[in-house]
Amino acid sequence: MKKSYRILIINWQDIMNPLSGGAEVHLFEIFSRLSDRYEIYLLCDSFEGAEPEETIDGIHIHRRGLRNTFNFIVPSSFKELNRRYNFDLVIEDLNKIPFFGRFYIPTKRLGIVHHLFGRVIYQETDLLSGTYVYFTERLIPKFYRDIPMVCVSKSTAEELIGMGIPEKNIYVVYNGVDFEKYRPVKKSESPLIVSVGRIKKYKRLDVLIDAMRILKSKNTKVRLEI
């Protein structure tokens, strides 16, 4: 099939970044599978030793700026790339702060939202940075209410609706599982809860640990592995 439809994704990082996480896995798992039908491009920040441009799994990566300045150079970087490729669709991956693409992206847009920080961000960073993230999130309803928004969970969808995003523009698409890598194993003899991921304050592992205390107080034989 001829690849004529060009899609640009704007995301903070790519899969090779040492700080990459679930958002980058999600991005590459989905769009690498679409790269045989569409031309897929990624605009992201750079890191030490990274090439400014390379192709991984069919995704053409363009690295610009650094982690702490990336959102400020996105508008000029987008204009540079759009002159070269003339994109048909731009996807903003909002897993940190919004890029406010409506001010400089003339073509169709779509948003992907994994989660919202809300006030929890103040537990993770300093007051100034936390306030910046918090208030840019509060602007999402004003500047993203007129485009499709894809969420990975019902809880995130409900948060967006509560903020003012029209429900008709929200689509819940759950994260998938690669069954070639992750296969069911024998069930544990006693109840077992496993948490897989980075240990960060905003991920609220303390809630899970508190829940374990409640279960233990009821003499429930359950084990937690982090």
Q: Which domain holds residue 211?
A: 192-225
Average pLDDT of every residue of the chain: 91
CATH code (residue 23): 3.40.50.2000
Q: Is the pLDDT of residue 1 over 50?
A: no
Decide if 122 is inside a domain.
Answer: yes
- Beta-carbon contacts of 23 under 8 Å, excluding residues fewer than 6 positions away, are 11, 12, 13, 93, 95, 114
φ, ψ (nearest 5 deg) of residue 111: -110, 145
Q: With bands split at pLDDT 50, 70 and 90, how would you rate the model's confidence at 3?
A: low
Looking at residue 133, its pLDDT comes to 85
Decide if 178 is inside a domain.
Answer: no
Distance CA 114, CA 22 (A): 9
As a whole number, mean pLDDT of residues 5-16 equals 96
Shared domain for 121 and 197, answered yes or no, is no
Shared domain for 151 and 200, answered yes or no, is no
Shared domain for 203 and 93, answered yes or no, is no
Distance CA 203, CA 195 (A): 11
Q: Is the pLDDT of residue 72 over 60?
A: yes
Q: With bands split at pLDDT 50, 70 and 90, how would you rate the model's confidence at 99?
A: very high
Q: What are the tens digits of pLDDT across the range 31-52?
A: 999 999 999 999 999 999 999 9
Strands 39-44 and 59-63: parallel
Q: With bands split at pLDDT 50, 70 and 90, how would you rate the model's confidence at 189?
A: confident
Q: What are the tens digits of pLDDT across the range 148-170?
A: 999 999 999 999 999 999 999 99
Decide if 100 is inside a domain.
Answer: yes
Least confident of 27-31, 125-129, 169-173: 125-129
Shared domain for 153 and 199, answered yes or no, is no
Decide if 60 is inside a domain.
Answer: yes
pTM of the model: 0.85
How many distinct structural domains can be found in the chain? Answer: 2
Shared domain for 101 and 200, answered yes or no, is no
In the chain, what percentage of residues exceed pLDDT 90?
64
Shared domain for 36 and 143, answered yes or no, is yes
Q: What are the tens digits of pLDDT across the range 191-206?
A: 889 998 888 887 888 8
